[in-house]
Structure 1
C-alpha cells in the first residue's frame, strides 16, 4: 500500500514539474504549436492581377465574414509577374487570378519542360482597355471618342501604361492601338501615341500610375474600364471592335500580334481567370473561395466594380475542374 501511495505522489509531482516547464494537459481543440491546421486558423495565399485589388478586397472581407477562421493574404501586381512568383520564386499559393486567361496555361500547365502547377482555369469576368484622364489632362477639353487618337499624339502629351513584359494590360494596350490603326484607317497611329509614352511612364502594373495621373504628372493612362469606374475617372468609350471587350469580335482581335520578351501575343477578348495550383497548401479552402467568387455574391462584387460578367463562368476543361466547382462553370466557348 505504501509503495502504491509513493507511486501516486511521484506521478503527481512529475505532472507539476511538467506544467511548470511549459507543458500542459491536452484539451479538445487546443494546440501547443503554431500549426494552423490544428487550431482551425487558415491563411489563404492569393496572387492576383493589380486590377483585381479593389474588388478582391471586398470579396476577401465578405468571405472572411462568412468563415471567421480564414485570413486571406493577397498580393497584387502584373499577372505575369504574379504567376512567376509561384512558378519561379516558388512562393506558396492557394489561388492565382490573372487578367488574361492565357497566362495560366503558358506558365502553369507544365509545357516545354516546365513544372506543372495546374491543368484548369475558369474565366470569371471580362473587361475593356481604354484611356483615363482628369481635368488636369492636356487636351481634356477637346478630346472625344472620335478624335482621341489625334489628341493623344499631340506634342507634349504624357501617357502612362504598364509593361507589356509583366502585365496583360501592357500588351493589350499595344493590341488595342494596332486595332485602332486598322479601324480608323490611320497608318502610324500606334507609333505616334507610343512616342508620348516614355519609359519613365511605364510600370509593372498600370494601377501604380493612378497617383501620377491624379497629380497631373501624366495626362492619360492606358487602363481597364473597371478601374475608371472604381476611381470615378473620365474615360474613353472606345468601339468594341478595338477595346478587346467583346467575344463576337474575337476574329478581329486575332488579326493583331505584339512582340514581348515572353514571345508574340495575339489579340483576344479580355477574360480574367482563376485557378488553384496543384500544390496549394490549403486546397480545400481555396476551392471554397473560388466557389464564392463564381457564385452570386462574388459575381455581384465584380459587377459592382465595373467588370463585365460572362453568361456563366467557363472552364478550359470542365472535367479537370474540382468536382465541387463543376456545377458553377460551363465549357469555354469556341472562338
Structure 2
C-alpha cells in the first residue's frame, strides 16, 4: 500500500523538479548595466519576447560589480551589457578567466546632472551654474560607487576636471566628499528611484535615464564631457548560447536600435573588439547590415 502511494508521489516530484530546467531552455539571462533598467525591463525585454517567443530574464547592477561577480563565479549569465569597454577588457585573457573573447560597442550616453523638480534646490539649477548649486548647504546628492560602476568613476573624473575648469581646487571635496562617501554612494539600480521619490535633490545620471524618465537635467560643458559606451558580449560559458545569439541579434537589429533611440540612447556604428571569429555568424550579419 505504501509503495502504491509513493509511486505517484515520486512521479509528480520528478515532474516538478524537471520543470525549472525545461522552463529555462528558452530563457536568456542578460546581465546589464543598471542605467539600462527601464530600457531593458520595459522595452527591449518585452519586445524580444514578443518577436522571438523566447523569455528574457534581466539582472541589473554596476558594470564592474557584475564583472566581479562573474570572475568570482557568483553569477552566471548568457549576455553581458556593460557601460564601458574597460569592463570587458577586465574579463578577457587567461589571467582574467577568459570570460569574454569579443564585444561590440553599440551605443553611448553622456553623463548629466539630474535633479528633482520638486526639490527646494530645483530653481537654482535654472538660474545658477550646476556646480554652484551642488555646493549649497543641505543638498542631497546621489551617485554610484566608482569602484563598482563606470558612472561612479566618470562622476569623480568629471568633477576633478570641473575643479580645474572653474578654478575651484576644493570643488570635489565640497560636492562629493570622499570618493566612497556613504552619504552619496548608492547602488546604480536604485539611484533613479531615490531621486524620483524625493530622497535625493540631485544626482549623476546618463542621458538615457534622464531622457527616458523625463528627469530635468543639466548637460555639463563640452570640456567636461564623460559618457557611457555600451558594449554587448556573449559570455564564454553562456548556458544558452543559442538564445544569447538571438538576443544579441535582436538588440543590434533595426528594431532594437530604434528602441534604443526611443529611450534616449545615442546609437553608434557597431564596432567589434577581440576575437571576431568567436562571434556568432548571425550577429556578424546583423552588424554588417547596421553599418551599410
Length-normalised TM-score, structure 1: 0.74
2:265 counterpart residue number = 307
Cα distance in 1 between the residues matched to 2:30 and 2:281: 21
Cα distance in 1 between the residues matched to 2:206 and 2:34: 11
Deviation beyond 4 Å, 4+ runs, structure 1: 20-24, 35-41
Mapping 1:222-237, distance limit 5 Å:
222-237=204-219
Alpha-carbon distance, 1:36 to partner: 8.0
Secondary structure class of the residue paired with 1:121: strand
Structure 1 residues 192 and 118 mapped into 2: Cα distance closer, same or farther (>3 Å)? same
Alpha-carbon distance, 1:137 to partner: 2.4
> Which residue, 69, 73, 80 being the options, matches 2:64?
80
2:93 counterpart residue number = 110
Q: Which runs of 5+ in 1 are unaligned?
A: 1-16, 25-30, 246-269, 331-335
Tell which structure's C-alpha radius of gyration is larger: 1
1:65 counterpart residue number = 50
1:316 counterpart residue number = 273
Secondary structure class of the residue paired with 2:203: strand
Secondary structure class of the residue paired with 2:56: strand
Structure 1 residues 280 and 35 mapped into 2: Cα distance closer, same or farther (>3 Å)? farther
Q: Which runs of 5+ in 2 are unaligned?
A: none
Q: Contact (CA 8 Å) 1:313, 1:328: kept in 2 or not?
A: no
Cα distance in 1 between the residues matched to 2:146 and 2:115: 21
Cα distance in 2 between the residues matched to 1:32 and 1:100: 41
Alpha-carbon distance, 1:315 to partner: 1.0
Alpha-carbon distance, 1:146 to partner: 6.1
1:167 equivalent to 2:125? Answer no
Question: What is the count of residue pairs matched by the alignment?
Answer: 277
Cα distance in 2 between the residues matched to 1:139 and 1:38: 53
1:200 counterpart residue number = 183
Alpha-carbon distance, 1:208 to partner: 0.8
Cα distance in 2 between the residues matched to 1:175 and 1:117: 28
Q: Contact (CA 8 Å) 2:116, 2:200: kept in 1 or not?
A: no
Cα distance in 1 between the residues matched to 2:195 and 2:10: 58
Task: Indicate the structure whose relative CO is greater, using CA pairs within 8 Å and at least 6 residues apart.
Answer: 2
Mapping 1:129-168, distance limit 5 Å:
129-144=111-126, 147-168=129-150
